[in-house]
Amino acid sequence: MNHSESWRALVTGGAGFIGSHLVETLLRRGAVVRILDDFSTGKRENLERAEEWAEAGKGGFELIEGDLRDRGACHRAVEGVELVFHEAALGSVPRSVEDPLTTEQVNVEGTLNLLLAARNAGVRRVVAASSSSVYGDSPVLPKTEEMRCDPLSPYALSKYAAEAYCLLFWRLYGLESVALRYFNVFGPRQDPHSQYAAVIPCFLSALLDGRRPVVYGTGEQTRDFTYVGNVVQANLAAAEAGPEVCGLAFNIACGERTSLLELLAVLKRLTGQGADPVFETHRLFSSRSSQEGAARASGLCRGSVCRNSSSGWEATRVSSRKLGSGTRLSYPHPEP
């Protein structure tokens, strides 16, 4: 059943890559949406389409520019809200290795501030973004939620601690919480220019700029790439599901293994560019092992949430247009 047209929802990190897609889908469904974002990695232009939806009278849209580390901002953000989609975090494993303290303050303490504010304000449910990085370097495939977590970086540890806090709040205070462990999300608006860019935008921007993409390690390590539209659907399903999903973490993956070299071949075909990669030594803190996520056979994944990523790949059209000195990438927009 779809109740989302009557939702009053907060999306933290709503100006970011995943959060902005979620905001748009919620607005398209008629929800009233508030965003809490400090624009540390998010962008105002990511909200342009959301503003159009709000102007067209579909749902309402309010932006609070604020920091999760500021308890007052968290308190204002949750007022009158029924659902919280918690996307805000400092992403990137390398960034966390350089500056573990800030990653901890934003991802763990910031989440705790938000949870306390949500509990005090009587929020019904928190759906929190976690990460497949919590599994560490285990060679076991596919990764299932029952596996032991073994975070290998401050980022992974912060996501693990944040999800544990969310699930603890369900047990201690009855605040309904669900954690979603995303596996390598890709899609429109993923920043290719950040020094911490993820592998798909990195490869794409190198190919489109006529540079040779850098592959760390042999390129045979696999990842389970998950289209952002699937992640949005998973969030909606987590919000709509019954109480049986509370206090649990779910893998949000497509259940496919794609090696970095296979990925590169796909992107070469999509872009029509053929530069061969440069191989560099594997970075210490990133996972050498392969990844493929298997989702729990019950609850969230009973529907079509984790549909095969091939639809995402097939639908992925890459175009580029030069904007000043930068290259902008665009893909089709995820289905509502």
Ligand X SMILES: NC(=O)c1ccc[n+]([C@@H]2O[C@H](COP(=O)([O-])OP(=O)(O)OC[C@H]3O[C@@H](n4cnc5c(N)ncnc54)[C@H](O)[C@@H]3O)[C@@H](O)[C@H]2O)c1
* Positions marked active-site: 155
Altogether, the residues listed in the chain come to a count of 336
Q: Are 199 and 91 in contact (CB under 8 A)?
A: no
Residue 192 as a binder of ligand X (CB under 6 A): the answer is no
Our CB check for ligand X shows the closer of 103 and 273 to be 103
Task: Tell how far CA 161 is from the center of its chain.
Answer: 17
Q: Is the dihedral of CA 183, 253, 203, 265 positive or negative?
A: positive
Q: Which of 25, 50, 67, 215 binds ligand X (CB under 6 A)?
A: 67
Q: How far apart (Å, rounded) are the C-alpha atoms in residues 284 and 104?
A: 20
Site residues (CB under 6 A) for ligand X, limited to 116-145: 129, 131
Our CB check for ligand X shows the closer of 36 and 112 to be 36
Q: Are 129 and 226 in contact (CB under 8 A)?
A: no
Tokens of 168: 């603890």
Piece of the chain touching ligand X by CB under 6 A; list 31-39, 119-127, 233-241, 279-287: 31-39
259, 276, 285 from 221: Cα distances, Å = 5, 17, 14
Q: Which of 8, 51, 64, 69 binds ligand X (CB under 6 A)?
A: 69
Piece of the chain touching ligand X by CB under 6 A; list 65-73, 240-248, 296-304, 310-318: 65-73
Q: How far is the CB of 113 from ligand X (least distance, A)?
A: 10
Q: How far is the CB of 210 from ligand X (least distance, A)?
A: 26
Residue 184 as a binder of ligand X (CB under 6 A): the answer is yes
Q: Are 210 and 196 in contact (CB under 8 A)?
A: no
Q: How far is the CB of 133 from ligand X (least distance, A)?
A: 7
Site residues (CB under 6 A) for ligand X, limited to 33-52: 36-42
Q: Which of 90, 93, 118, 199 binds ligand X (CB under 6 A)?
A: 90
Contacts of 54 (CB under 8 A, 6+ apart): 27, 60, 61
Strand order of the β-sheet with 8-12 is 60-65, 32-37, 8-12, 83-86, 125-131, 176-182, 248-252
Q: Which of 50, 106, 127, 157 binds ligand X (CB under 6 A)?
A: 106
Q: Which of 205, 192, 201, 199 is nearest to 217 (CA)?
A: 199
Q: How far is the CB of 1 from ligand X (least distance, A)?
A: 26
Our CB check for ligand X shows the closer of 230 and 320 to be 230
- Binding residues (CB under 6 A) for ligand X: these are 13, 15-19, 36-42, 67-69, 87-91, 106, 110, 129, 131, 159, 182, 184-185, 198
